[in-house]
Amino acid sequence: MAFTLVVIGSAFGCATPQPVVRLQPTSPDVVWHSGRAIVTQQTGDVRVAVAFERMAEERLVFRVELQNLGSLRQDVGPHQLIYKTCVKPPSCGPHRRVIDPEERLLALDVARSRTRASQTNSAGLGVALLMLNAVATVGAASQGNSGQASHLASDGLMIAESTSNSIERHDQQITSIEAEKLDWAASALRRTTLGAEQGIAGMVHLPLDLEATRIWLGVTIDGPTLWFGFEQRVIVAAPAP
């Protein structure tokens, strides 16, 4: 038993904790609300508020609020947001678009469809193998080969268990996909038409870059780009004892 445990440990190794990231606004004009450091800027027609929300796996999540200050309606959304990362403040990368929630939702729909198809194929293959196994078991028993019949029956149980486990794994994957879809659909900042004095709030997602020391989030709505700077602090978690 001790030898088996050593083999398993050497085969899988020890998982390393993922570093934890925290962002702090570079602007001195910060308003705190429920633990969020909020920075606000505005032009003649729009007011923008940004706060770092959380780290989510391989993404950084910001809460962004947009308010139309003009008399005409405006289309606002993530298509007007860009970002850039800096290894050092004077050395920054190119501007990139934030993660598009519509593209993410489409990718999740595709993943769900593929997972459901894979589940159906696995179930169909399992049923076919069980039928073939049953025919072979009956044939062996009718020929008086009890040993082979017993072996085939045991194989049948293994096929049934494997098929059941595969279906369950696919169901768990689909449940996870649906949960992520719900999160994106309900909380992400999505394209919205705002009337005069109307506003909207939602989450904006950026890819995680552990090498960055500063992150800039830019918002461009009928005017100059409003830039929001954040200092990034990477905290390396110690392995669990």
**122 pLDDT more than 80:** no
Pick the closest to residue 98 from 200, 193, 217 (CA basis). 217
Q: What is the mean pLDDT of residues 213-226?
A: 91
pLDDT score recorded for residue 194:
93
Q: Is 217 left (phi over 0), alpha (psi -120 to 50) or beta?
A: beta
**13 pLDDT more than 60:** no
Q: What are phi and psi of 166, to 5 degrees?
A: -65, -45
Q: Indicate the domain borders of the chain.
A: 16-101+188-235, 104-184
Mean pLDDT over all residues of the chain? 80
Distance CA 182, CA 106 (A): 13
Model pTM score: 0.74
Question: What does the pLDDT look like over 168-219, one tens digit per residue?
Answer: 777 778 788 888 888 888 899 999 999 999 999 999 999 999 999 999 999 9
pLDDT score recorded for residue 5:
40
Confidence class for position 44, pLDDT limits 50, 70, 90: confident
**31 pLDDT more than 90:** yes
The sign of the torsion formed by the CA atoms of 75, 76, 79, 84 equals positive
16-101+188-235 domain in CATH 3.40.50? no
Distance CA 54, CA 153 (A): 53
